[in-house]
Amino acid sequence: MKRKLTGLSQRYVTALRKHLEQGPRASLSPALGLGRRAVALGLETLDLARMHERAVITLELASKKDGYMERARIFFTEAITPIEETHAVARKAKTHLHELTELLGQRTVELAATNGQLQRGIVQRKSVEAALKKSGERYNRLLRDSLQLQAGLRELTHQVLAAQEDERDKMSHELQDEVAQTLLGINVRLLTLKEGAWKNTRVLKNEIASTQRLVAESAESVRQAARKFKNA
């Protein structure tokens, strides 16, 4: 690296001498080439300034007139242009990197917020799913209970209807038996009246009255049985 710096310093002296010898209209391309070489070697503006200072001393420009120092300054200004451009690019890159860093930080914050919302959404969704599952299980349980209750009600209704039907049959039989017994009693009374009509008029009247009461009681019994049968 030191050898390269020494070689570049010698080239700088040579190029500056030629530039000054060629006069005010000399091209600045050699200075620009030296600056690019300095950039390639990783030199900074201060390094090139020292190199220029040594060249000025070597060429004894301080003792010369005809604007040599000013033209040498212009040569140096052109030589450091690539370095300054590199610095400008670096500053721009640094600024851009800073902007990217800030943007990345902002995106990180937004991503963290979005991730938090996502996590809360997942928790909420799981909660809703659990609630729906629990609700579905409860609905199924209620449905089973309802079906069992319906089956029980149907069975109970069947039993009630069967009991009512049995009760009607029982009451019908009782009514038939009571009517048959009443008619049998009336028939017996009538036969008694028929056989004893010629014997005693008083006895006949008593039997007729007794038979009338039996008929009335039997009719009332039949009416009561009929009401029970109707309400059953």
Supply the pLDDT for residue 214: 79
| Alpha-carbon span 176 to 226, nearest angstrom | 11
Between CA 195 and CA 190 the distance in angstroms is 9
pLDDT of residue 98: 62
Within the chain, residue ranges assigned H as helices are 2-21, 29-40, 45-58, 68-79, 81-196, 201-231
The closest alpha carbon to 190, from 221, 182, 218, belongs to: 182
Query: H or E segment at 24?
Result: none
Half-sphere exposure of 152 (CA within 13 A, CB side): 6
Spatial distance between the Cα atoms of 30 and 16, rounded to a whole number of angstroms: 8
pLDDT of the residue at 97: 53
Query: Can you give the pLDDT at residue 71?
Result: 92
Q: What is the pLDDT of residue 45?
A: 93
Domain ranges of the chain: 2-103, 158-231
Task: Spell out the per-residue pLDDT of the chain, length 232, in tens.
Answer: 788 889 999 999 999 999 999 988 899 999 999 999 999 999 999 999 999 999 999 998 888 777 889 999 999 999 999 999 988 776 775 666 567 557 756 875 786 787 778 788 788 888 778 877 786 787 678 778 878 878 887 887 778 777 777 777 776 676 667 766 776 777 676 676 666 655 667 766 777 777 778 778 877 877 787 677 666 6
Question: Is pTM, for the whole model, over 0.85?
Answer: no
Q: How far apart are CA 183 and CA 222, in angstroms?
A: 12
Among left, alpha and beta (phi > 0; psi -120 to 50; other), residue 187 is alpha
Closest CA to 76 of 19, 4, 25: 19
Give the rounded distance of the alpha carbon of 86 from its chain centre: 53
Q: Is 20 exposed, middle or buried (0-12, 13-18, 19+ CB in 10 A)?
A: buried
